[in-house]
Amino acid sequence: MMAKAKSGEAAAGSAEEKSSKSLSTEERNDGVKPKQKRQKRMHNVALGARGEEAAARFLERRGYSILERNWKCFAGEADIIAQDEDAIHFIEVKTRMGEGKGFPAEAVTAKKRQRYEAMAELFLETYDGCDTGITFDIISINVLGNDRAIMRLYRNVLSCDCR
């Protein structure tokens, strides 16, 4: 009988362990199921792609030539590399739905700016142009819904004169 009671206690203990493990998994997932996380991630990727497309059109209408989109190197990925008559622009595009997580431009950190400097250096190693300035810009897009958004260009957020 005692053995049964002990195994029953062990079974209860392992059930508690299992429930605490599943709780900690839910806590790590912020209570969101993996399928919901995938759907949210896919939504964010699609939102970002739409934002980058809108940003490229915005720049072209203002006379910029788009040199590269989603240019990748070991330092990271530049959303847009564009050129106007004055400089080559390395542009980070940030798109948000509403203001719940802050304004899009606030998401660009000092670390991201350092990565953009490294990307610019690598890009310029293969670039044929000469005597050009470089700027690091941000395009902030706040989607209001129904194909409406507020777009803002922050120019020369981190300057570098490479003439």
Residue range 84-128, pLDDT digits in tens = 998 999 999 988 886 666 666 776 777 888 888 999 999 988 888
Q: Sorting pLDDT into bands at 50, 70 and 90, what band is 146? A: confident
Task: Give the model confidence (pLDDT) of 36-95 as tens digits.
Answer: 666 666 666 778 888 999 999 999 999 999 999 999 999 999 999 999 998 999 999 988
Distance CA 133, CA 40 (A): 39
Indicate if the pLDDT at residue 163 is higher than 90.
no
Q: How many angstroms separate the CA atoms of 72 and 152, rounded?
A: 24
In whole angstroms, what separates CA 125 from the centre of its chain? 25
Q: Which pLDDT score is estimated for 2?
A: 46
Q: What is the pLDDT of residue 16?
A: 45
H/E element, 142: strand 133-145
Domains of the chain: 32-160 (3.40.1350.10)
Q: Provide the pLDDT for residue 55.
A: 95
SS (HEC) of 54-94:
HHHHHHHHCCCEEEEEEEEECCEEEEEEEECCCEEEEEEEE
Over residues 144-161, mean pLDDT: 78
pLDDT mean over 158-162: 52
* Spacing of C-alpha 122 from chain mean position: 21
Confidence at 19, pLDDT banded by 50, 70, 90: very low
C-alpha span between 44 and 6 (Å, rounded): 51
pLDDT at site 145: 77
